[in-house]
Amino acid sequence: MTERKAAEVIWRAWSAREVIDAIPEDCRPADIEAGYRVQDALIAVSGEAVVGYKIAATSKAGQTHLAINHPISGRILASRVFADGDTVPISDSRMALLETEFAFVIGEDLSARAEPYEWPEVMARVARLHLAIELPDTRFVDVAGAGAPQLIAECACADRFLLGPEAPPAWRDLNLAEVVVSIAVNGTQASVGLGADALGDPRFALAWLANQLSGRGMGLKAGEIVTTGICGMPTPGKAGDHAVATFEGLGNVEIRLS
């Protein structure tokens, strides 16, 4: 099966922390739908537990960098999840970036259905909001030239992910699009952004994923994590760095790099 062959190529590269020029032509996904089928096969090949999803290319800058014009999604692997204040490896990362993100934990299932989900309904089924830092990485030599189908196949540059503290309950009263998000590395401010950088609003990004999965006959399940895309600009990191991300009015998340 071509999807499995492609998945095996990606998983070998991911496991070995290596990069490839491209998925072999005889099993390379030709379109977005094929890319997601390879991603499904990748999870099966990996044997890894999945704790949720990441959404990538939710900002104009992210879309420009990846040379695509729409969001894409990938899975978050349980073995690559860290907690607030943890020391996270980065020296073996090709991208070596930190991305500040809003991450939701689903409280009630959002099952596949014919009718699209509106964002208020999606938010009503969210249990918690967490502050997060994603450390994306790629299995491709040229991530900008890989194209959407291959990027989707490799889980949308998913790799390590730090799930920070739960936001206070008052987050539900805020317009998340207006929340200022910043990150400082070794005490020096490196990026400032807004919640609006994530597809206009992190809540809109979550609704996009609910509908994207529904269209594939899938859904979001209670307990799953969804990280909704970068707010601000990707921040370079290296071993020995200490970074603190601040989500105005919601709190901080801290990471150390090795």
| pLDDT number for residue 62 | 84
User: How many other CB atoms sit within 10 Å of the CB of residue 174?
Assistant: 17
Does the CA dihedral 173-190-78-111 come out positive or negative? Answer: positive
Per-residue pLDDT tens over the stretch 210-231: 999 999 999 999 999 999 999 9
Compute CA distances 142 → 6, 70, 94, whole Å.
17, 19, 11
Average pLDDT along the chain: 98
Cα 82 vs. chain centroid, distance in angstroms? 14
Per-residue pLDDT tens over the stretch 162-217: 999 999 999 999 999 999 999 999 999 999 999 999 999 999 999 999 999 999 99
Percent of the chain with pLDDT over 90: 95
- pLDDT band at residue 132 using 50, 70 and 90 as cut-offs: very high
| pLDDT number for residue 106 | 99
Determine the residue type at 191.
Answer: S
**DSSP per residue over 204-237, as a string?**
HHHHHHHHHHHHTT--B-TT-EEEEEESS--EE-
The C-alpha atoms of residue 34 and residue 152 are separated, in whole angstroms, by 9
Q: Exposed/middle/buried for 120, CB within 10 Å: 0-12, 13-18, 19+?
A: exposed
For domain 49-257, the CATH superfamily is: Fumarylacetoacetase-like, C-terminal domain (3.90.850.10)
Structure tokens at 28: 């390379």
Return the domain boundaries, the chain: 49-257
Q: Exposed/middle/buried for 54, CB within 10 Å: 0-12, 13-18, 19+?
A: buried
pTM over 0.75: yes
Q: Is the pLDDT of residue 1 over 80?
A: no
The C-alpha atoms of residue 85 and residue 149 are separated, in whole angstroms, by 34
